[in-house]
A and B are shown apart, each in its own frame.
Chain A
Amino acid sequence: MVTGKGGTGKTTVAAALALALAEEGKRTLLVEVEGRQGIAQLFETEALPYEERKIAVGPGGGEVYALAVDAEKALLDYLQMFYKLGGAGRALKRIGAIDFATTIAPGVRDVLLTGKVCEAARRRTRAGGFVYDAVVMDAPPTGRITRFLGVNDQVAGLARVGPIHNQAQAVMRVLKSSETAVHLVTLLEEMPVQETVDGVAELRATGLPVGCVFVNMTRPAVLDRTAVRAAEESRTEIAKALSRAGLGGARRGGRAEQLVDPLLRQAHEHAERLALEGELRSEIAGLELPAYELELLAEGADLPGVYLLAGELREQGVAR
């Protein structure tokens, strides 16, 4: 399960993870549950139907499948599987029962979504092996993840007997087992880190297994506070250096001299950011979870970028 605050690149990291885990001879499934078609956009394919289909080959040679879970279709599937409803399913839809179950009834939607993912994770081939070696879910954001994953407990409490109760309990067993890990994506910014810290505490309190932290979009450190301070104290030398590099005159009013202040201000902002990032890194370290750093993609999160990230994850040993 890959979660994270909005805007942290959750979908990109989930996709990179699915690619990285697809070693030679293995098969992973990348699942999205929020109906945004983020996977299709990332992999530059047409909108994904409610059907598992191969979308990529990982850098290790394994296959990546993708699935966009649709709660309504999952419910109809489920009804068909257990009750052989046939056309009655459509009738239920017409009177609004399906809409009710998937959008309004407490938690049913989330039960269906998590249920479908657990089903895929536990599905076996005829030979007895797992169909998918790993299932990666682009899960709801950190603020909702505990409720989303914990919904089965709640529904099992509401529906005290019957198949929904049993299904909810079965799903919860999988989610709380060591086969599951909830990974959190964050940026080195205050709010995402705060949400990560809060999210980890919530997940732990609910007994959901926390995996690791992906620190996304990191940027290289160029000049720290000490360096910037040194630069601020040697403006003349800096101006001369800029001039030697061919950027104009170093005298007062010269083009190189006029660059010094703007460049120093940018360097100062950078150094302040580094200092803040240092504090945030130690906050993340305090969670005592494995952490992976992923560099900011210069061209934004496009398909080549996802492969780059998958490579970085493999180098950092995520597949092990």
Chain B
Amino acid sequence: MTARAAEAGTAQAHGLGTFPVLDVDALVDDPGTRIVVCCGAGGVGKTTTAAALGVRAAERGRKVVVLTIDPARRLAQSMGLTELDNTPRRVKGVDGASGGELHAMMLDMKRTFDEIVEAHADPERARAILENPFYQSLSAGFAGTQEYMAMEKLGQLRADDEWDLIVVDTPPSRSALDFLDAPKRLGSFLDGRFIRLLTAPAKVGGRAGLKFVNLGVSGLSVFTGLLNKLLGTGLLRDMQTFVAAMDTMFGGFRTRADATYRLLQAPGTAFLVVAAPERDALREAAYFVERLAADRMPLAGLVLNRMHGSEAAHLSAERALAAAENLEEGDVVDQPTGKGGDGRSAPRSASGSGSGSDAHSGDGSGTDADSDELTEDSTASPTTAERLAAGMLRLHAERMHVLARERRTRDRFAALHPEVPVAEVAALPGDVHDLDGLRAIGGRLAEQPGVEPA
């Protein structure tokens, strides 16, 4: 239901493809939306999207916590996160006029694991577990634990009921499946027969022992003997101690894992698949979409980051290139002085930060020198303007090629998954370092063609 609310009423035609448009504001404004999970391949701007959504939702009046895992340093700083302390921190600088708040936390896996142990075991047992070398390795983040702990923390935050909205940035999994599978896998393992065998070494001939008959070996001692040979005696003992302690303490890891899994399926949850308009990223996204459907997880839509656009899109790449060649004709002797390496420009501080629309006016001190240079160039070669124009046209042709490729990739996805609402986010010239940057991304996320500004 929540996921449906985020779909803008009319399907939009974009180029060849037709696909529904994702209305991010409707999604984050809906009080029924309690959890937004951002997932997708690595390197597509997942963490940035999660943070930008958090800022947007908070400034639209919701009390939000963003749960992020191992964000890039500068992005973490943009939200005022300087350390891993595993508790949500209020983000300063967020406009609270609508009554919203933004909190953010970075997941510290080991700390989360330790907290579970401390919460469920008496102090003596807790200490035994925390000091166990096997536990120390497991909790430090081997396969599956990061995913499990992210889900565990999500369960905790949701249970606190202190937040209107929890935005989760999923771990950079080696495959899209991991974060859905890991909790179950860890849960079923800890409830599994193998654990029973490890924890019940004394029950030879008992229920656990009977299982060994199936192994075709003669008994438990052979089994543990083998394990000892394989793993080394100390490790098996450490493992047994650890598992015994965990087992009695958790009394059903699977129950917890199942609860987390059901929480994700619940109507208050919305999944956003984040991708970049590149073949591999969208292939991963498609895989995710299918997997979420198979697991009956509520998908709100696809966020397509870093889409390029052009204000001169009516000028095709072909025409731009032809015009550039025209201008360059008869100009084969020397390269324009401004071309290539940027050594000369290095000492100057850049005037603009992206849009370039203001760069014309505020030149200040550099102007004189520049115009001298230009005059000199102009007298030496009357075609400076032509070469500059040719360069601009070549850049435009390149931009149009990128744009065409991105649209083809997107339309291919849309054709295969016509039911998935899409929100496109235009590429920014640089990385996001601060709240303003996140706010800008949030704005771009929300402003989609066909979506009425709220």
Residues of A within 8 A of B367 (CB): 233
Task: With both chains docked as a complex, state the minimum distance between the C-beta of A25 and any C-beta of chain B, in angstroms.
Answer: 33
Between B232, B276, B399, B401, the greatest number of chain A beta carbons within 10 A of the residue's beta carbon is seen for B232
Residues of A within 8 A of B338 (CB): 223-224, 226-228, 230
* Beta-carbon contact of A241 and B133 below 8 Å: no
User: In B307-355, which residues have CB < 8 Å from any A CB?
Assistant: 310-312, 315, 319, 323-324, 326-327, 336-342, 344-346, 348, 350-355
From A7, A41, A271, B281 is in contact (CB under 8 Å) with: A7
Decide yes or no whether A27 CB sits under 8 A from chain B: no
The CA of A247 and the CA of B386, in the complex, are separated in Å by 13
Name A residues whose Cβ lies closer than 8 Å to a Cβ of B.
Answer: 5-8, 34-36, 38, 41, 83, 87-88, 91-92, 94-97, 99-100, 103-107, 109-110, 140-141, 143, 147, 154, 157-165, 189-192, 194-195, 219, 221-235, 237-238, 240-242, 244-247, 259, 261-276, 278, 298-301
* Beta-carbon contact of A164 and B359 below 8 Å: no
The verdict on A109 contacting B143 (CB below 8 Å), with A7-B41, A245-B324 known, is yes
Prevailing SS type, chain B contact patch: helix
Task: With both chains docked as a complex, state the minimum distance between the C-beta of A280 and any C-beta of chain B, in angstroms.
Answer: 11
Task: With both chains docked as a complex, state the minimum distance between the C-beta of B151 and any C-beta of chain A, in angstroms.
Answer: 15
The CA of A299 and the CA of B336, in the complex, are separated in Å by 29
Name B residues whose Cβ lies closer than 8 Å to a Cβ of A.
Answer: 41-44, 70, 72-74, 133-134, 137-138, 141-144, 172, 174-175, 185-186, 188-189, 192-195, 197, 211, 214-217, 226, 228-235, 238-239, 276, 278-281, 283, 310-312, 315, 319, 323-324, 326-327, 336-342, 344-346, 348, 350-357, 359-360, 363, 366-367, 370-371, 373-374, 377, 384-386, 388-396, 398-399, 401, 405, 429-431
* Beta-carbon contact of A234 and B374 below 8 Å: yes
Residues of B within 8 A of A96 (CB): 188-189, 192-195
The verdict on A264 contacting B356 (CB below 8 Å), with A106-B137, A159-B231, A190-B430 known, is yes
By beta carbon, the residue of chain B nearest A224 is B342
Residues of A within 8 A of B172 (CB): 6, 141, 143
Task: With both chains docked as a complex, state the minimum distance between the C-beta of B55 and any C-beta of chain A, in angstroms.
Answer: 19
* Beta-carbon contact of B324 and A225 below 8 Å: no
Residues of A within 8 A of B393 (CB): 242, 245, 263
* Beta-carbon contact of B401 and A298 below 8 Å: yes
Task: With both chains docked as a complex, state the minimum distance between the C-beta of A193 and any C-beta of chain B, in angstroms.
Answer: 10
Residues of B within 8 A of A36 (CB): 174-175
The CA of A159 and the CA of B232, in the complex, are separated in Å by 5
The CA of A278 and the CA of B343, in the complex, are separated in Å by 9
The verdict on A34 contacting B174 (CB below 8 Å), with A161-B232, A162-B231 known, is yes
Residues of A within 8 A of B391 (CB): 222-223, 227, 231, 267
Task: With both chains docked as a complex, state the minimum distance between the C-beta of A94 and any C-beta of chain B, in angstroms.
Answer: 8
Residues of B within 8 A of A271 (CB): 345
Task: With both chains docked as a complex, state the minimum distance between the C-beta of B241 and any C-beta of chain A, in angstroms.
Answer: 13
* Beta-carbon contact of A266 and B323 below 8 Å: no
Task: With both chains docked as a complex, state the minimum distance between the C-beta of B356 and any C-beta of chain A, in angstroms.
Answer: 3
The CA of A162 and the CA of B41, in the complex, are separated in Å by 38
By beta carbon, the residue of chain B nearest A163 is B230
Residues of A within 8 A of B401 (CB): 298
Residues of B within 8 A of A160 (CB): 232, 234-235
The CA of A267 and the CA of B310, in the complex, are separated in Å by 11
The verdict on A265 contacting B141 (CB below 8 Å), with A225-B345, A240-B385 known, is no
Task: With both chains docked as a complex, state the minimum distance between the C-beta of B84 and any C-beta of chain A, in angstroms.
Answer: 14
* Beta-carbon contact of A103 and B143 below 8 Å: yes
* Beta-carbon contact of A266 and B350 below 8 Å: no
**Told that A163-B229, A223-B391 touch, could you supply 15 new A-B pairs with CB distance under 8 A?**
A7-B42, A106-B134, A191-B74, A194-B72, A222-B398, A223-B339, A223-B395, A224-B342, A231-B389, A233-B360, A234-B374, A245-B327, A268-B359, A269-B354, A278-B342
* Beta-carbon contact of A234 and B235 below 8 Å: no
* Beta-carbon contact of A232 and B360 below 8 Å: yes
By beta carbon, the residue of chain B nearest A198 is B73
The CA of A99 and the CA of B188, in the complex, are separated in Å by 11
Residues of B within 8 A of A140 (CB): 174
The verdict on A95 contacting B211 (CB below 8 Å), with A164-B231, A272-B353 known, is yes
Task: With both chains docked as a complex, state the minimum distance between the C-beta of A148 and any C-beta of chain B, in angstroms.
Answer: 10
Task: With both chains docked as a complex, state the minimum distance between the C-beta of B361 and any C-beta of chain A, in angstroms.
Answer: 10
Prevailing SS type, chain A contact patch: helix
* Beta-carbon contact of A265 and B356 below 8 Å: yes
* Beta-carbon contact of A91 and B342 below 8 Å: no
Residues of A within 8 A of B430 (CB): 190, 272-273, 276
From B143, B144, B323, A247 is in contact (CB under 8 Å) with: B323
Residues of A within 8 A of B279 (CB): 300-301
Task: With both chains docked as a complex, state the minimum distance between the C-beta of A304 and any C-beta of chain B, in angstroms.
Answer: 14
Residues of B within 8 A of A228 (CB): 338, 359
By beta carbon, the residue of chain B nearest A232 is B360
* Beta-carbon contact of A87 and B326 below 8 Å: no
Task: With both chains docked as a complex, state the minimum distance between the C-beta of B180 and any C-beta of chain A, in angstroms.
Answer: 14
The CA of A228 and the CA of B431, in the complex, are separated in Å by 22
* Beta-carbon contact of A263 and B405 below 8 Å: no
Residues of B within 8 A of A233 (CB): 360, 367, 370-371, 374
* Beta-carbon contact of A143 and B70 below 8 Å: yes
Task: With both chains docked as a complex, state the minimum distance between the C-beta of B352 and any C-beta of chain A, in angstroms.
Answer: 6
Task: With both chains docked as a complex, state the minimum distance between the C-beta of B139 and any C-beta of chain A, in angstroms.
Answer: 9
* Beta-carbon contact of B342 and A225 below 8 Å: yes
By beta carbon, the residue of chain A nearest B234 is A160
The CA of A104 and the CA of B239, in the complex, are separated in Å by 12
Residues of A within 8 A of B235 (CB): 158-160, 162, 164
Show 9 residue pairs from A and B whose CB-CB distance is below 8 angstroms, ordered by the A residue: A6-B172, A106-B134, A191-B72, A194-B72, A225-B342, A225-B345, A231-B388, A241-B389, A245-B327
The verdict on A158 contacting B197 (CB below 8 Å), with A226-B370, A266-B396 known, is no
Residues of A within 8 A of B44 (CB): 6-7
Task: With both chains docked as a complex, state the minimum distance between the C-beta of B336 and any C-beta of chain A, in angstroms.
Answer: 7
The CA of A241 and the CA of B279, in the complex, are separated in Å by 38
* Beta-carbon contact of A230 and B72 below 8 Å: no
From B195, B230, B315, A259 is in contact (CB under 8 Å) with: B315
By beta carbon, the residue of chain B nearest A195 is B72
The verdict on A227 contacting B185 (CB below 8 Å), with A88-B216, A164-B231, A276-B430 known, is no
Task: With both chains docked as a complex, state the minimum distance between the C-beta of A303 and any C-beta of chain B, in angstroms.
Answer: 12
The CA of A104 and the CA of B337, in the complex, are separated in Å by 60
Task: With both chains docked as a complex, state the minimum distance between the C-beta of A273 and any C-beta of chain B, in angstroms.
Answer: 6
Residues of A within 8 A of B137 (CB): 106-107, 154, 158
The CA of A105 and the CA of B357, in the complex, are separated in Å by 57
The verdict on A229 contacting B43 (CB below 8 Å), with A106-B137, A221-B340, A266-B396 known, is no
